[in-house]
């Protein structure tokens, strides 16, 4: 996370001290670095120079319109999974002709919105969805461009909740059924077959599962061609992992080269759907220590540091037992203690980190690192907590890209019986 560094013994985002952000905007808040977002996108593209490709940021990783706008200006496309995400991309200035629409449960209204916008492709996940899309497009007098999301039954070797390419996952069309569903698609009047798509999971740190899946996909593309169903693009999905602690995912250029070597001058456009890899290390969650609760003397109980961020702000530790590095914004000299870093929510699962060695005092600021992906996007109002503010730093400037939610807003849509 090279845009979050210690300067004069204080943690900064680019040129702005995180303590200054806390003083100005309060905590908890998410802080993103525009330079880190830009660098992630440009380095993802670096291995693809001179090839026919489109990098579609997976919006669900972080849907703030300011972040989408940064990527849109860099020429990104977008991978969406709902009508809500479609609206966000359009509001952020994204190009509808660079949108792919994934997801197992697209409803008719979402299909209509995407057809009206003129998106690049629907990633269709079942035969039933295909039939519905054909009907909806027919009613509108349109032709829907599609890929089938094929499930290659490949083990991505990641957490079970974020593994999507095994045959017992809900995602995609089973590999064995793909040819039959493609033949059905090719015969539908309001469907145009354009591509093949697969996405096998998230936080993948090895190349092998990507290559194994791509080999199967290329075999399928060849078979489809012999059946008179030409494929003009291959969407290899997202899923490339990041470093949270000591993971060593392949460099983007290594990943790109491995894929391009397999594609080997085939005349297809390549699509990528990275989410986490573009935003994960471009953001931190800034929080304040409210209370220290030392263990009872001579007991083996834990020391707790109760901070003002909680599982409703960053769900990954509670949901996946995920690790985030937690660092002091102004590290103190002197002996550290081992702390459970926990939030105020009434759940024992409300922790942000276990067994962290820190020298803390009440009122200290902590940065929960690598929180740019699936942080704010999974935040909730559990315990009637307003969601955190989001700040984007650009050099020495701070921009509020989402205001802190106000308490009155949290029940503004609710009504008592008369
Ligand atoms: C979530 C998702 C992605 C992005 O996954 P990352 O691991 O964040 O790169 C890409 N494509 C689809 C279909 C997804 O559901």
Q: Does residue 238 contact residue 21 with C-beta atoms inside 8 Å?
A: no
- What pLDDT, on the 0 to 100 scale, is given for residue 236? 97
Same-fold call for 4-31+280-410 versus 34-278: no
The DSSP 8-state label assigned to residue 240 in this structure reads B
Tell whether ligand 1 has an atom less than 6 A from the beta carbon of residue 280. Answer: no
- What pLDDT, on the 0 to 100 scale, is given for residue 160? 77
CA 197 to ligand 1: nearest atom: 13
Give SS3 for 363.
coil
Tell whether ligand 1 has an atom less than 6 A from the beta carbon of residue 256. Answer: no
HSE, CB side, 13 Å, CA atoms: give it for residue 281: 18
- What pLDDT, on the 0 to 100 scale, is given for residue 265? 81
Give SS3 for 267.
coil
In angstroms, the Cα distances linking 102 to 150, 218, 293, 303, 306 are 12, 20, 46, 44, 39
CATH 2.40.37.10 corresponds to the domain 4-31+280-410: yes
Q: What would the CATH number be for the domain defined by 34-278?
A: 3.20.20.10
- What pLDDT, on the 0 to 100 scale, is given for residue 1? 72
Q: 149 CA to middle of ligand 1, Å?
A: 12
CA 374 to ligand 1: nearest atom: 8
Q: 199 CA to middle of ligand 1, Å?
A: 7
- What pLDDT, on the 0 to 100 scale, is given for residue 298? 67
Q: Does residue 389 contact residue 30 with C-beta atoms inside 8 Å?
A: yes
DSSP 68-87: HHHHHHTT-EEEESSHHHHH
DSSP 157-216: -S-GGGB--STTSS-SEEGGGHHHHHHHHHT-TTEEEEEEE---BSSB--SHHHHHHHHH
56 annotated active-site? no
Catalytic residue among 198, 346, 398, 416: 346
**How would you write the pLDDT of the chain (418 residues) with one tens digit per residue?**
789 999 999 999 999 999 999 999 999 999 999 999 999 999 999 999 999 999 999 999 999 999 999 999 999 999 999 999 999 999 999 999 999 999 999 999 999 999 999 999 999 999 999 999 999 999 999 999 999 999 988 888 777 777 777 777 788 899 999 999 999 999 999 999 999 999 999 999 999 999 999 999 999 999 999 999 999 999 999 999 999 999 999 999 999 999 999 998 899 999 999 999 999 999 999 999 999 998 877 677 789 999 999 999 999 999 999 999 999 999 999 999 999 999 999 998 999 999 999 999 999 999 999 999 999 999 999 999 999 999 999 999 999 999 999 999 999 999 999 9
User: 305: which strand partners?
Assistant: 292, 341
Q: 324 CA to middle of ligand 1, Å?
A: 20
Could you count the other beta carbons within 10 Å of the beta carbon of residue 37?
A: 26
- What pLDDT, on the 0 to 100 scale, is given for residue 113? 98
Q: Does residue 129 contact residue 118 with C-beta atoms inside 8 Å?
A: no
Which H helix or E strand runs over 32?
Answer: strand 29-33
The DSSP 8-state label assigned to residue 346 in this structure reads S
- What pLDDT, on the 0 to 100 scale, is given for residue 320? 93
Could you count the other beta carbons within 10 Å of the beta carbon of residue 307?
A: 28
Gap between the Cα atoms of 158 and 164, Å rounded: 10
pTM of whole model > 0.95? yes
Domain ranges (residues) in the chain: 4-31+280-410, 34-278
């Amino acid at each position: 996370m090279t845009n979050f560094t210690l300067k004069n013994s204080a943690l900064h985002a680019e040129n702005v001290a995180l303590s200054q952000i806390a003083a100005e905007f309060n905590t908890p808040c998410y802080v993103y670095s525009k330079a880190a977002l830009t660098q992630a996108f440009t380095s993802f593209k670096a291995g693809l120079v001179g090839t026919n490709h489109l990098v579609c940021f997976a919006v669900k990783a972080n849907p703030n319109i300011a972040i989408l706008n940064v990527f849109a200006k860099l020429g990104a496309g977008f991978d969406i999974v709902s009508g809500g995400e479609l609206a966000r991309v359009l509001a952020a200035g994204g190009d509808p002709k660079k949108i792919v629409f994934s997801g197992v449960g697209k409803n008719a209204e979402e299909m209509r919105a995407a057809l009206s916008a003129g998106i690049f492709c629907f990633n269709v996940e079942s035969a039933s969805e295909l039939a519905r899309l054909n009907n909806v497009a027919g009613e509108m007098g349109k032709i829907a461009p599609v890929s089938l999301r094929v499930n290659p039954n490949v083990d991505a070797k990641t957490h079970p909740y974020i593994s999507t390419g095994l045959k017992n996952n809900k995602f995609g069309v089973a590999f064995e059924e793909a040819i039959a569903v493609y033949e059905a698609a090719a015969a539908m009047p309001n469907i145009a077959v354009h591509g093949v798509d697969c996405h096998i999971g998230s936080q993948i740190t090895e190349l092998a599962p990507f290559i194994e899946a791509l080999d199967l996909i290329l075999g399928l593309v060849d078979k489809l061609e012999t059946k008179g169903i030409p494929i003009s693009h291959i969407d290899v999905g997202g899923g490339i992992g990041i470093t949270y602690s000591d993971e060593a995912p392949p460099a983007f250029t290594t990943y790109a080269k491995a894929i391009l070597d397999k594609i080997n001058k085939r005349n297809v456009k390549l699509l990528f759907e990275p989410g986490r890899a573009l935003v994960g290390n471009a953001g931190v969650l800034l929080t304040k220590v409210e209370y220290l609760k030392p263990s009872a003397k001579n007991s083996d109980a834990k020391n707790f540091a109760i901070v003002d961020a909680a599982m409703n702000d960053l769900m990954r530790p509670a949901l996946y037992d995920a690790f985030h590095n937690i660092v002091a914004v102004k590290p103190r000299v002197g002996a550290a203690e081992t702390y459970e870093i926990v939030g105020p929510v009434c759940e024992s699962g409300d922790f942000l980190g276990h067994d962290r060695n820190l020298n803390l005092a009440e009122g200290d600021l902590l940065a929960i690192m690598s929180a740019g992906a699936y942080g704010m996007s999974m935040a909730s109002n559990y315990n009637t907590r307003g969601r955190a503010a989001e700040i984007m730093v650009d050099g020495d400037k701070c921009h509020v890209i989402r205001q802190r939610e106000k308490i009155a807003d949290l029940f503004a849509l609710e009504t008592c019986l008369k």
